[in-house]
Amino acid sequence: MKERYRLKDHFIELRIFHNRSIIAIFFTLILFILLISRLFFLQINNHEHFTTLSQNNRVSVQAIPPTRGLIYDRNGIILAENLPSYTLQIIPEQTTDIDKLLRELSQLINIRDIDIQKFKKEVRRKRRFEGISLRFRLTDKEVAIISVNLHKLPGVKIQAQLSRYYPFGEETSHVVGYVGRINEKELKSLSPTNYSGTNHTGKLGIEKSYETQLHGSVGFQKVETNVKGRVLRVLERQNPLPGNDITLNLDINLQKIATRAFANKRGALVAIEPATGHILAMLSMPNYNANLFVNGIDVKTYKALNGSWERPLYNRTVLGSYPPGSTIKPFMALAGLELNIINHQHQIFCPGYYRLKGKSHKYRDWKKWGHGKTDITKSIVQSCDVFYYDLAVQLGIGKMHDFMSLFGFGQKSGIDILGERRGLMPSKKWKRETRNQAWYPGETVIAGIGQGYVLVTPLQLALATATLANGGTYFQPQLVRSIKQKSDTEELLVTPKVQRKISISQQANWDHVYKSMTDVIHSPRGTARRLNKPGLRYKIAGKTGTAQVFSVAQDAKYNEDELEEHLKDHALFMAFAPVDNPKIAIAIVVENGGHGGSVAAPIAGQVIEYYLSQFSDEALKIKNTEIVHQGKQKHG
């Protein structure tokens, strides 16, 4: 080690500093020479090249939007496609007076005020050399008129584009959703580069939740243009990467049959394949035509749709929360058996009402004079309320809440479209937290027949039915079956996702419930016996339900004819078939429809009949042992 200087040596310090200063001067000169030579290169050597670019010819960069991925149903029928259409665009940089140009254009073809408003908004956010759309979907005649006058209209061009089209715009509106023009809010979250050539983005349904898959990646070309903006040559081109195609589990024919069966009733239907959690049909009625939204819906039509009391824009399958009514009873019976609250021989006497110990309030059965002696099967087949009032009190709200939660009541299902509601399965804790009130025993009583606080979405009810049908495997419901990348030949299958497996204490308990539900259709006193048509190749298990919208006073009588339409009961029905080998599980809500058995069940009957007609006798009989378990079977 060299000895360190104890004292500051000013002479050495100064010498070091002067050396460094000389280096600094050299450094400065080198950087200046570097800059000057770079500028010499640009301004003197390549002056002509840049002058050409700057004056006569301008280089512009054009974004090439990717083609949006297509959407198919499970059988390969197309649900969303891209059709060619002509768009009128204006390039601000090439115009002299935009307002004058707009006036001239509106004398030639029909341009609405709203088009001009939207156009002016776009002008502010796009670059001056980019084409901005003024009118979409020009007719052939309009294209001809503009083309003839093009020389008088500097900066105007007609762009052939692909426009989204939904062949089943009404049937699939709530599921597939639609694309629409990008708005200010969406602009902030979308990548400005990737969307620089794109005018549309998914707004709803699959189109929205799978936007990143469907959109693809932007391409660009650097082009040399002359003063008038005509492209002279393409200097460089990078092709866009088209969006991925998506195949749904949905069966569009089934969806159409279901839509037709609903006719002009309001409500929702969800059909699920119990072995996989795949969504076979999903509709909310009334629906609307998704094609209206693609290129901007006009205010009047939108107001009519949005303001309608029938609420066609509202997706009831995931947003509608309804009391499940009697459809909760099979789950209640199963809870009683599995938790050893009741045994298979359990019976009660139903006098037509139920009273809590020491209270005078009468909880009435729908059958005023009562069902008499009632066992489990009879309680489901004839939908005895008193049986379940009693069972609910024996179970208590805590056990009820826990057991129902296993089937997904009160929980989001995780379906692959956005914005589902979670429904509600009440508990003491919930009431304390949200309302800061104690739980009253009477609330347990009515929860036993799916009234009171209990709320489900049609999707939840269908999923619970599927879980019951497949023996306790709770899936995450999936609309998308597979995603096909354009660059890849292989399709990426979406694996069914098991969320949980309910542990079974005794198979006999489940079989007892299955048998009772089968009798709802196949016994002479069942509430849905009208589905038992002669020559049926399979057995259906189901349960009707009627959910009260309007509560009747203690001593009054519910009179259907006197009630206003919107106060009538909701009709519900849940079912699966075939009983031994479930291929389809279904849940239906018909708003203000009255009775489940007479209104909702026939719709389910048609859907089940159509769907199972695709299977041979063999296929219906063979017990489906191939319930897919997580990790056991892998796709893709």
Partner 1 sequence: MASQTSQQGLFFRLHIDFSLLMGLIILVIIGQIILYSASGENMALMQRQGIRLGIAFIVMFTLAQISPDSLCRWSPVIFIIGIVMLIAVLLVGTKVLGAQRWLNLGLFRFQPSEMMKLAVPMMLAWFLAGNNIPPTKKYLFLAIVLLLIPVLLIAKQPDLGTSLLVSSAGLFVIFMSGISWKIIFSFIIAGITFTIPMWFFLMRDYQRQRVLTMLDPESDPLGSGYHIIQSKIAIGSGGGFGKGWLNGTQSHLEFLPERHTDFIFSVFAEEFGFSGILILLMIYLWIILRGIYITTQAHGTFSRLLGSSIILTFLTYIFVNIGMVSGILPVVGVPLPLVSYGGTSIVTIMAGFGILMSIHTHRKLLAH
Q: What six digits make up the tokens of 63?
A: 């974004």
Piece of 34-42, 286-294, 296-304, 467-475 that binds partner 1 (CB under 8 A): 34-42
Choose, by CB under 8 A, the member of 90, 218, 254, 350 that binds partner 1: 218
Number of residues that bind partner 1 (CB under 8 A): 46
Choose, by CB under 8 A, the member of 25, 508, 552, 619 that binds partner 1: 25
Catalytic residue among 60, 326, 427, 482: 326
Q: What six digits make up the tokens of 337?
A: 């058996």
Q: What six digits make up the tokens of 122?
A: 């776009």
Contact 521, 541 (CB under 8 A): yes
Please name which of 385, 360, 356 lies closest in space to residue 447, comparing C-alpha atoms. 385
Does the protein bind partner 1 through residue 226 (CB under 8 A)? no
326 is catalytic: yes
One character per residue 321-360, x = contact with partner 1 (rule: CB under 8 A) = ----------------------------------------
Question: Buried (b) or exposed (e) across 40-74, using 16+ Cβ within 10 A?
Answer: eeeeeeeeeeeeeeeeebbebebbebbbbbbbbbb
Our CB check for partner 1 shows the closer of 235 and 508 to be 235
Instruction: Please state, in angstroms and rounded to a whole number, the distance separating the CA atoms of residues 32 and 60.
Output: 32
Does the protein bind partner 1 through residue 46 (CB under 8 A)? yes
DSSP 75-135: TS-EEEEEEEEEEEEE-GGG-S-HHHHHHHHHHHS---HHHHHHHHHHHHHS-TTS-EEEE
Does the protein bind partner 1 through residue 239 (CB under 8 A)? no
Does the protein bind partner 1 through residue 32 (CB under 8 A)? yes
Instruction: Please state, in angstroms and rounded to a whole number, the distance separating the CA atoms of residues 565 and 358.
Output: 38
- 422-461 positions binding partner 1, by CB under 8 A: none
Please name which of 330, 479, 328 lies closest in space to residue 409, comparing C-alpha atoms. 328
Does the protein bind partner 1 through residue 91 (CB under 8 A)? no
Our CB check for partner 1 shows the closer of 26 and 440 to be 26
Q: What angle do CA 451, 452, 458 make, to 5 degrees?
A: 55
- 164-203 positions binding partner 1, by CB under 8 A: 192-193, 196
Does the protein bind partner 1 through residue 63 (CB under 8 A)? yes
Our CB check for partner 1 shows the closer of 229 and 330 to be 229
Does the protein bind partner 1 through residue 44 (CB under 8 A)? yes
Residue 587: how many other CB atoms lie within 10 Å? 31
Instruction: Please state, in angstroms and rounded to a whole number, the distance separating the CA atoms of residues 400 and 244.
Output: 44
Torsion of CA 544, 562, 368, 519, to 10 degrees: -20
Does the protein bind partner 1 through residue 123 (CB under 8 A)? no
Our CB check for partner 1 shows the closer of 147 and 193 to be 193
Does the protein bind partner 1 through residue 28 (CB under 8 A)? yes
Which residues does the annotation mark as catalytic?
Answer: 326
Q: Please give the residue ranges that form the binding site for partner 1 (CB under 8 A).
A: 4-5, 8, 13, 16-21, 24-25, 27-28, 31-32, 34-36, 38-40, 42-44, 46-47, 49-51, 53-55, 58-59, 61, 63, 93, 127-128, 192-193, 196, 218, 220, 222
